[in-house]
Structure 1
Amino acid sequence: MTEQFTPEFREWPKTPRLFREIVITEKIDGTNAGLHISEDGQVVAQSRKRIVTPDSDNYDFARWAATNADELAHILGPGLHFGEWWGQGIQRRYGMGRKVFSIFNVVRWGTQADEDGTTMKSRAEQSGLVDQVDAVPILYRGVFDQDVIDDLMKELRENGSHAAPGFMNPEGICVYHSQSRGVFKVTLDQNDAGKWEAAA
């Protein structure tokens, strides 16, 4: 006699609603980076795939993090902070003579104050790293709207980067969807052809 098949019940997940808040930021073409900061201010750097050190680095990110560990711990606070390490000598280079670490968590960067009333942004502005630590530029925050996405892509193609004003070859946008908590990219290359190309 064949044994009775008894599968484990698996619930279908709730389907997120599309027309909820999104945050659209410029997608910067550098290298993915992250900083682990402990409660006592220790700083460890990583790339997309591994922990990096000054002796086994990724575009000098670990060396920069080690050199500026105290200020980075003060600016960002404890936690894991993901961002893009970009600028001089990395991917598109953006015509820059320096490198910048731009964090992805733009809401925490600019609006979430700590107990002392300061934000990451305000601490960065008061530090010696004001031109080396920032957040990716917010281009839109509101309800999902395909027309807004198309308009922003057209504006980037015509007017260039917000992260590096005057640079006329930006990569595209990232769309953070609040309900799904997912991030989606739309690029200005042929992989994501859209209405904005017809108007170009």
Structure 2
Amino acid sequence: MHEFIEWPKTKRLFRDIVVTEKLDGTNSAVHISQADYNDVPDHATLVGVDGTVYALSAQSRKRIITPGKTTDNYGFAGWVYDNAADLVRILGEGLHFGEWWGSGIQRGYGIAGRRFSLFNTERWYKTGEDGLDSMATRAGTTALFDQIDAVPVLYSGTFSEQRITDALHDLKTFGSKAAPGFRNPEGVCVYHTQTRGVFKVTLDNNDAGKWEAAA
């Protein structure tokens, strides 16, 4: 028997986009939620902050990770566990996705140490509805001020192929925005606000096109 299946509403292309630098590290996330010492989630660490208990867990692109030589992913889980209280104060509850990058990971970017750069730039810079400081401001008051941030925004506005091309050209010409002086950035990610989709364009031959001709 055939059933009616509706064609989904067509999204509009010329809506706002956010173009950010695509960092070549490892996809990671930290999950923060309120918890109870008597009900500890699997693969999580507990920490008390201002009288409230929070559970934190870390993940890579494909799995939950924990500190340890064979269970971690470039030390990200160890970093989350070691800095649990500061991460709660900076990020608050939620699932926070980003790139764990720096020394010893993929391109390395010529920096000492490693950093966690969040993908959701709006969330990082936005002042809370309750008037509290943004995540970016809170990070500056902790020991993690130079270890956590958001991916660099290269353009924010109405969809424009030219703006994406310009962002790629600038990266190729001037190098990474996340790590000034590093001359081999990977490319860009384009977040389309209406579709909530993320698309990547890299500076390698896989995405050679008009931007390369303009370089």
Q: Same fold (TM over 0.5)?
A: yes
Question: TM range, normalised to the smaller chain?
Answer: over 0.9
Structure 1 residue runs of 5 or longer lacking an equivalent are 1-5
Work out whether 1:25 is the aligned partner of 2:20: yes
1:49 to 62, 66, 80: 62
The size of the alignment, in residue pairs, is: 195
**d(CA) in 1 for partners of 2:87 and 2:54?**
9
State the match for 2:98 in structure 1.
83
Displaced runs of 4+ in structure 1, greater than 4 A? none
Q: Superposed, which structure 2 residues align to 1:120-131 within 5 Å? A: 120-131=135-146
Q: Superposed, which structure 2 residues align to 1:39-188 within 5 Å? A: 39=34, 40-55=53-68, 56-113=71-128, 115-188=130-203
Name whichever of 46-55 and 109-118 sits farther off: 109-118
- Contact 1:94 1:167 survives alignment (8 Å): yes
**d(CA) in 2 for partners of 1:73 and 1:121?**
13
**d(CA) in 2 for partners of 1:57 and 1:126?**
28
Name whichever of 157-166 and 34-43 sits farther off: 34-43
State the match for 1:34 in structure 2.
29
**What code does the residue aligned with 2:86 have?**
E
Name whichever of 20-29 and 114-123 sits farther off: 114-123
Output the aligned Cα RMSD.
Answer: 1.0
Structure 2 residue runs of 5 or longer lacking an equivalent are 35-52
TM-score, normalized by length of structure 2?
Answer: 0.88
CA drift of 1:41 comes to: 2.2
TM-score, normalized by length of structure 1?
Answer: 0.95
